[in-house]
Structure 1
């Protein structure tokens, strides 16, 4: 189950459904348990800046943050994979600079975040190659094969 929470007033109306669908596609691609739960928060640069500083020691906003979890819901036994936060204003700026719409950018960032929750990383060249390949495959399935995967 995917929970999408909007904390940014200027979030485009279609974004919630699009990021939910992108998350589901990424989870399916990664063979995640069907009963897995993820929370996606659509927020602003201020919150992302604060979280980036608190958790990663980076004094700047970022586009996407992932917080993996290995919790199990005590009532249902369902795995909770974690939280993804996306800066909608940063997604809009990146979309504009790369020539596509914010909806496509938000889907890219969602896929990127899910891959981090599933254990992918891009710190080392071999890891990055595997993660970028998975992103490209998922984006193609979403009809976004034209979106360039870039360093994030």
Structure 2
């Protein structure tokens, strides 16, 4: 598995943010029974940059906590069958890994939310990665049923890792 992490802000954390990202990504992929080695990019940025990205890619001119940029258009969440037909577009030509996409996290927003929810930054950071990973695998939360599914899966991943509120 290849996980590329870029800390644009050069911020320090009171936990190993690279190890936490790896653990959460692997946990979600295991839970979702991903049959491939995967590649994921994680970028840690600030409020202004994530607002710019949100405006550019979603036409929403405000800060957000996390953005997901999936590489594969899953017809149904975590339904990997279609990938065999689209191998040239979805798999890295040199490593053979499934290129899932990019996660961009506003560290400032994550800190604000951790404080507002009364839990550690590590928990909020892990939650945002789990949430974004589900998006990379085709999950969404546009209707209440989808929200419930994502919430259950996010909580299961974090509980399995012992990262609780």
Q: TM-score, normalised by structure 2?
A: 0.83
**In the alignment, which residue of structure 1 is the partner of 2:7?**
6
User: For each residue in 1:51-75, what CA deviation from the matched residue of structure 2 results, as whole angstroms up to 9, or x when unmatched?
Assistant: 0001111111110000000331112
Moved more, 30-39 or 98-107: 30-39
Shift of 1:92: 0.5
> SS at the partner of 2:162?
coil
Task: Calculate the aligned-residue CA RMSD, in Å.
Answer: 1.3
**In the alignment, which residue of structure 1 is the partner of 2:149?**
130
Shift of 1:76: 2.5
* 1:17-36 matched pairs, under 5 angstroms: 17-36=19-38
**In the alignment, which residue of structure 2 is the partner of 1:42?**
44
* Paired positions, count: 146
* 1:1-150 matched pairs, under 5 angstroms: 1=1, 2-12=3-13, 14-70=16-72, 71-145=90-164, 147=165
Given that 2:103 and 2:132 are in contact with CA atoms closer than 8 Å, whether structure 1 keeps it comes out as yes
Q: Distance between the aligned counterparts of 1:27 and 1:60, measured in 2?
A: 30
Structure 1 outlier segments of 4+, above 6 Å: none
> SS at the partner of 2:71?
strand
Shift of 1:77: 2.2
Given that 1:39 and 1:84 are in contact with CA atoms closer than 8 Å, whether structure 2 keeps it comes out as yes
**In the alignment, which residue of structure 1 is the partner of 2:81?**
none
5+ residue gaps, structure 2: 73-89
> SS at the partner of 1:89?
helix
When residues 11 and 46 of structure 1 are mapped into structure 2, their CA distance, relative to the original with a 3 A threshold, is farther
Bigger Rg, structure 1 or 2:
2
Q: TM-score, normalised by structure 1?
A: 0.90
